[in-house]
Amino acid sequence: MRLHSYCTVCGGVRTQLPIRGRPLGYFQSAIANLKADLQDNPRYPKLAQVQSRRIAKALDAIPDFGDPYTMPYEVQWRIFLSVVQRVRPDLDVDFIERALPREPRRHRPTVLELMTSSGGEPKRVDASG
C-alpha cells in the first residue's frame, strides 16, 4: 500500500482513491455537446442522429456504466472514448474530451476565511434559540 501524498506545510492529506464515476446523464450530455460542437465545425462532418443514438445505446448496454459507485471515472472515460471512436474514428481524443460537461466550481471557504468572517471568535449557540 502506497503512502498518501501530503502537504509539508499544513499536513493536509490528499486521497489516492480513484475519482468516483459519473451518472449516465453526464455522458448523454457529453454526446449532446459533441453534436453541438460538430454542428458548425469546418474540419469534421456533423454527428448524425443515428450516430448519437448508436453511442447512447452502446453506453446503455454496458452493465453498471451509469452507477457512480461501481465503476470509477477513468474506466467510464475509456469506455466512452472507445465507443465514440468506434462510431466516429475521425475524431481525436482532445476534441472528444472538450465535449465533456464541466462541473461548476464552488468556492469552498478555508478555515481561516471562516474564522475571519465571524470576527475570529467561534460562533456560540444559545440554548434559548
Instruction: pLDDT band for 128, please (50, 70, 90 cuts).
Output: low
Residue 68 pLDDT: 84
- Comparing 93 with 9, which gets the higher pLDDT? 93
Residue 104's pLDDT band (cuts 50, 70, 90): low
Q: What is the mean pLDDT of the chain?
A: 83
Q: What's the average model confidence in pLDDT over 88-92?
A: 95
Task: List, in order, residues 6 or more apart from 80 with CB less than 8 Å away.
Answer: 27, 30, 59, 96
Domain boundaries, the chain: 24-98
In tens, the pLDDT along 7-48 reads 777 766 666 667 788 999 999 999 999 999 999 899 999 999
Looking at the chain, how many residues does it have?
129
The answer for residues whose C-beta is within 8 angstroms of residue 15's C-beta and 6 or more apart is: 4
More confident residue, 13 or 75: 75
Q: Do 35 and 53 form a contact (C-beta atoms < 8 A)?
A: no
- Is the pLDDT assigned to residue 113 strictly greater than 60? yes
Residue 86: the pLDDT is 97
Average pLDDT over residues 64-73: 88
